[in-house]
């Protein structure tokens, strides 16, 4: 019995050692990305837990950064105050060279509360970059873009200069003319409306009012022939129902016997039970065991019969 208990005790101790974290005894801490007062953005990263013990730092000789695999090289604390030792190192920095080292303390929300931060050169710390004035992080948070009213040129944001009668465009990085004005070079000039003209949908040009059509830079009246009306757009004409266009006139649609106006009203079609034959409507002749088809201009066999050379024969 004593042997079994000793074996179980060894097994528990071995498991504890196998699942032990990085040297230092405390779990690493996740730090959210943040922007420092000098405009430099620091990406989210991991750091060793601050415990005031210099020997637990990942950059100390004998330790290895578990996230980068870089061995520590420091032999003495970089800060004389022992309470600030082991403030933590970023896994994205070089644990051996000191680039990316952080000597500030952290608040409970894992963001820095002091400005004593050493930033690596851009070539060594690609995850940090500077945000210029009048800029903000982009949607993905992996770069920057200018705020509304500014446009990007090189690595800075320049204010958009608005000419008279202009406003910022939809994106806010340029300008467009207000309604009633059109762009001419770098200015906004008023849209000149001819008689019987009005602003178009976009407000940067003109179109003729209903009943008039454009001719050059003028609006002239639409002349309606007999039995016609304005079209849908109001800038032309079409024949009323029962008439069809012939040149610049509207002539009546001639209906043959057993004919009727079509859907558009500018032609004809045969009534149900008749089919078109040239300019006439001929009756549909139904063989035995048949009926008019869906359109009414032909026939089909009844249920249980099939077509065979102009007849309907029983299905066997």
pLDDT band at 90 (very low <50, low <70, confident <90, very high): very low
Q: Do residues 244 and 299 both lie within one domain?
A: no
* Within a domain: 248: yes
Residues 6 or more apart whose CB falls under 8 angstroms from that of 171 comprise none
Helix (H, G, I), strand (E, B) or coil at 41: strand
Give the pLDDT confidence score for residue 84 in this predicted structure: 44
Give the pLDDT confidence score for residue 79 in this predicted structure: 59
pTM strictly above 0.95:
no
Q: Do residues 106 and 53 both lie within one domain?
A: yes
What average pLDDT does the segment 142-168 reach?
96
* Within a domain: 72: yes
Q: Do residues 270 and 291 both lie within one domain?
A: no
Range of the domain at 291: 285-314
Which of 130, 160, 181 corresponds to the end of one domain? 130
Greater confidence, 55 or 123? 55
Q: Do residues 263 and 304 both lie within one domain?
A: no
Encode 138-176: b = buried (16+ Cβ within 10 Å), e = exposed.
Answer: eeeeeebebeeebbeeeeebeebeeeeebeeeeeebebb
- DSSP string spanning 175-211? EEEPTTEEEETTEEEEPPPPTTEEE-TTSSSEEEPTT
Q: Do residues 103 and 120 both lie within one domain?
A: yes
Which of 114, 130, 146 corresponds to the end of one domain? 130
* Cα 274 from Cα 25, distance rounded (Å): 97
Q: Do residues 308 and 242 both lie within one domain?
A: no
Q: What percent of the chain has pLDDT over 90?
A: 57
Residue 151 has pLDDT above 80, yes or no: yes
Q: What percent of the chain has pLDDT over 70?
A: 73
Give the pLDDT confidence score for residue 9 in this predicted structure: 55
Greater confidence, 278 or 128? 278
Q: Do residues 275 and 294 both lie within one domain?
A: no
Phi, psi of 308 (to 5 degrees): -150, 105
Which of 29-38, 89-98, 307-316 ranks highest by mean pLDDT? 307-316
Q: Do residues 235 and 310 both lie within one domain?
A: no
* Within a domain: 308: yes
Phi, psi of 104 (to 5 degrees): -90, 160
Residue 235 has pLDDT above 90, yes or no: yes
Average pLDDT, the chain: 80
Question: What domain count does the chain have?
Answer: 3
Which of 98, 130, 162 corresponds to the end of one domain? 130
* Within a domain: 8: no
pLDDT digits 0-9 by tens, 105-140: 333 344 443 344 333 343 334 445 689 999 999 999
Please give the span between the terminal C-alpha atoms of the chain, in angstroms, as a whole number.
Answer: 91
Encode 182-213: b = buried (16+ Cβ within 10 Å), e = exposed.
Answer: beeeeebeebeebeebeeeeeebebbbeeebb
pLDDT band at 72 (very low <50, low <70, confident <90, very high): confident
Give the pLDDT confidence score for residue 86 in this predicted structure: 54
pLDDT digits 0-9 by tens, 12-40: 444 444 444 444 446 777 777 777 777 77
Greater confidence, 61 or 4? 61
Residue 234 has pLDDT above 70, yes or no: yes
Q: What number of other Cβ atoms are within 10 A of residue 273's Cβ?
A: 14
What average pLDDT does the segment 189-218 reach?
97
* Within a domain: 116: yes
pLDDT digits 0-9 by tens, 283-296: 999 999 999 999 99
* Within a domain: 99: yes
Q: Do residues 107 and 76 both lie within one domain?
A: yes
Residue 265 has pLDDT above 90, yes or no: yes
Give the pLDDT confidence score for residue 298 in this predicted structure: 94
Q: Do residues 38 and 92 both lie within one domain?
A: yes
* Cα 245 from Cα 263, distance rounded (Å): 16
* Within a domain: 28: yes
* Within a domain: 9: no
Q: Do residues 292 and 250 both lie within one domain?
A: no
Q: What Å distances lie between residue 211 and 220, 223, 238, 240, 248, CA to CA?
A: 9, 9, 13, 16, 17
User: Which DSSP helix (H) or strand (E) runs through 232?
Assistant: none
Q: Do residues 48 and 124 both lie within one domain?
A: yes
Helix (H, G, I), strand (E, B) or coil at 7: helix
Residue 93 has pLDDT above 50, yes or no: no
């Amino acid at each position: 019995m004593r042997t079994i208990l000793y074996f179980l005790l060894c097994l528990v101790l071995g498991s504890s050692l196998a699942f032990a974290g990085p040297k230092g005894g405390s779990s690493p801490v996740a730090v959210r990305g943040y922007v420092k007062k000098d405009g430099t953005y620091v990406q989210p990263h991991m750091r060793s837990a601050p415990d005031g013990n210099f020997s637990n730092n990942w950059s100390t000789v004998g330790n290895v950064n578990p996230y980068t695999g870089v061995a520590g090289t420091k032999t003495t604390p970089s800060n004389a105050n022992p309470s600030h030792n082991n403030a933590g190192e970023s896994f994205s920095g070089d644990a051996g060279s000191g680039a990316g080292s952080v000597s500030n303390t952290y608040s409970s929300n894992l963001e820095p509360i002091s400005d004593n931060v050493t930033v690596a050169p851009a070539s060594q710390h690609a995850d940090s970059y500077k945000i210029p004035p009048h800029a903000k992080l982009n949607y993905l948070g992996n770069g920057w873009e200018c705020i509304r009213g500014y446009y990007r040129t090189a690595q800075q944001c320049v204010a958009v200069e608005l000419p008279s009668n202009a406003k910022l465009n939809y994106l806010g990085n340029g300008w467009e003319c207000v309604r009633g004005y059109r762009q001419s070079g770098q200015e906004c000039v008023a849209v000149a409306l001819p008689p019987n003209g009005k602003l178009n949908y976009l407000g940067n040009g003109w179109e003729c009012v209903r009943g008039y059509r454009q001719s050059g830079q003028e609006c002239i009246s639409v002349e309606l022939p007999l039995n016609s009306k304005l079209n849908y757009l109001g800038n032309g004409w079409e024949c009323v129902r029962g008439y069809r266009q012939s040149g610049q006139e509207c002539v009546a649609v001639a209906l043959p016997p057993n004919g009727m106006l079509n859907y558009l009203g500018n032609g004809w079609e045969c009534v149900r039970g008749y089919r078109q034959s040239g300019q006439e409507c001929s009756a549909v002749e139904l063989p035995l065991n048949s009926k008019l088809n869906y359109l009414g201009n032909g026939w089909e066999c009844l249920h249980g019969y099939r077509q065979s050379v102009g007849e309907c024969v029983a299905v066997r």
